[in-house]
Amino acid sequence: MAVYEYTARDADGNKLSGIYNDVDSVAALRKELAKMGDTLLKARRKKIEVGKRVKIKQAEVVAFAYKFAGMCSAGLPIARCLETVEEQTENQAFKYVLSDIRGSIEAGTTLKEAFEKYQKVFSDFFVGMLEAGESGGRLSETLEMSASYMEKQADLKSKVKSAFAYPIVVGVMCIVIVTVLVIFIIPVFSKLYQQLHVPLPGPTKALVGLSVLVRSWWWLVLLIIVGSVFLFRRLSKNPYLKTRWDVFKLNMPVFARLNRMVVVSRFMRTFAMLASAGISFIKALDVASAVANNSRISEITGRLQRSIEAGDSVAGSLRNYDIFPPIITQMVSSGEEAGALPEMLNKGVDFLDKDIDRTIKTLLVKLEPAMTLIMGLIVGFILMGVYLPMFDYMSRVK
In residues, how long is the chain?
398
CB 143 within 8 A of CB 68: yes
Domain span at 6: 2-45
Task: Verify that 197 and 243 share a domain, yes or no.
Answer: yes
Task: Verify that 139 and 281 share a domain, yes or no.
Answer: no
- The reported pLDDT for the residue numbered 61 is 87
Give pLDDT tens digits for 28-68: 778 888 887 888 888 776 654 444 445 788 888 888 888 88
Give the total number of structural domains in the chain: 3
Give pLDDT tens digits for 212-246: 888 888 888 889 889 988 888 888 778 888 888 88
SS3 state at 21: strand
CA angle 121, 291, 82 (to 5 degrees): 30
The set of residues, in sequence order, having a beta carbon less than 8 Å from that of 71 and lying 6+ positions away, is: 80, 81, 84, 85
Task: Verify that 164 and 301 share a domain, yes or no.
Answer: yes
The set of residues, in sequence order, having a beta carbon less than 8 Å from that of 58 and lying 6+ positions away, is: 150, 153, 154, 157
- Domain end, chosen from 112, 130, 150, is at 150
Question: What is the Cα–Cα distance from 289 to 282, expressed in whole angstroms?
Answer: 11
Task: Verify that 368 and 397 share a domain, yes or no.
Answer: yes
Could you list the beta-strand ranges (E) of the chain.
2-9, 15-23, 39-45
Tell me, yes or no, whether 340 lies in a domain: yes
Task: Verify that 143 and 157 share a domain, yes or no.
Answer: no
The CATH number that applies at residue 162 is: 1.20.81.30
Give pLDDT tens digits for 233-283: 888 778 888 888 888 888 888 788 888 998 998 899 888 888 887 888 888
pTM of the model: 0.68
Task: Verify that 138 and 157 share a domain, yes or no.
Answer: no
For residue 115, give Cα distances in angstroms to 80, 101, 141, 240, 338. Answer: 16, 6, 18, 31, 35
Task: Verify that 114 and 241 share a domain, yes or no.
Answer: no
- pLDDT confidence of 11, banded at 50, 70, 90? confident
